[in-house]
Amino acid sequence: MKTLQIALGSIAGLALATLLGAWAPAGQGQVASRTVAYDQVKLQVLDQGHGPVIVMIPSLGRGAADFDDLAARVQAAGWRVLRLQPRGVGESTGPMTGVTMLDLATDVAETIKASGATQAVVLGHDDGNRIARATAAYYPGLVSAVVLVGAGGKVPPDAEARAALGAVFDPSLSPDQHLKDVATAFFAPGHDPAVWRGGWYAATAKMEGVAGGSVPVSAWWTAGTAPLLVVQGNQDRIAPPANADLLKADVGARAEVHHIDGAGHALLPEQPQKLADIVIGYLKRRPQA
């Protein structure tokens, strides 16, 4: 009888969630694939855990799998993690030309609203941190805090790293040359870039690059007035560490900055434990945690 009551309770919960338009909770230890649809856009969102919501936005031309490790650690710390697949990655579709930074921020905003949350922390890596900041600037009521991993914007990459970044999306490169370019652009010396041998989406990178150029850096640089956590690799050649220091100088006390030694732009696979410790520590200090 008790088992039957639990089952009926679960069915009732699913029915209520359907009526209210909210997503039913993912099972314990499971990752559910959700769909956010609006206008001509359909987004795949990977949903795991329970608790306050954090949305994760991946690097330029990359997908939500980059956050596999960090998402699991943040979920274990008591958070509900939503990983957004950008347009052109996974099951996410939508216009890929003429896209603006406001459009990409709206993708994040619609994800937060679809989850049933009233606010969320938004975390972005590489180009994702620009989208995260734009979301806070355009939709301040939906964003409680912003976490930036590898934050660029004002201090440019060095010439060699910039060329390598462009090359990683070139399908004509040999596997060896491609991996060499991945290492140059993203990884600090001593780290194996093979973990990022795949997962490059050229059409998505082009779309995101055009969106980034649709507004001046000043439109998103300070993330509106949201609290900020900035995590920067000391050996980052794409987003040099001075970017974090400039942002701190511009926004003052609302930004908390951490530098990680032995990490380039690919902080996620290079220093997973240190990155998670910093992010989770910050989340636990947030009022909603």
pLDDT tens-digit readout, 228-243 = 999 999 999 999 999 9
Closest CA to 49 of 73, 26, 17: 26
Model pLDDT for residues 243-287, shown as the tens digit of each residue:
999 999 999 999 999 999 999 999 999 999 999 999 999 999 987
**Across 9-33, average pLDDT:** 60
Closest by CA position to 224, among listed 144, 145, 137, 143: 137
What tokens does 260 get? 């990680």
| Whole-number pLDDT of residue 144 | 98
Distances 271 to 4, 16, 236 between C-alpha atoms, Å: 46, 41, 13
List the one residue out of 119, 114, 128 whose CA is nearest residue 57: 128
In CATH terms, is domain 31-285 a member of 3.40.50.2020? Answer: no
- Tell me the pLDDT band of 9, cut-offs 50, 70 and 90: very low
pLDDT at 28: 72
pLDDT band at 2 (very low <50, low <70, confident <90, very high): very low
Mean pLDDT of 101-123: 98
Q: What whole-number percentage of the chain has pLDDT above 90?
A: 88
Q: Which of 258, 268, 269 is nearest to 234 (CA)?
A: 258
Q: What is the pLDDT of residue 27?
A: 75
pLDDT digits (tens, 9 = 90+) for 146-199: 999 999 999 999 999 999 999 999 999 999 999 999 999 999 999 999 999 999
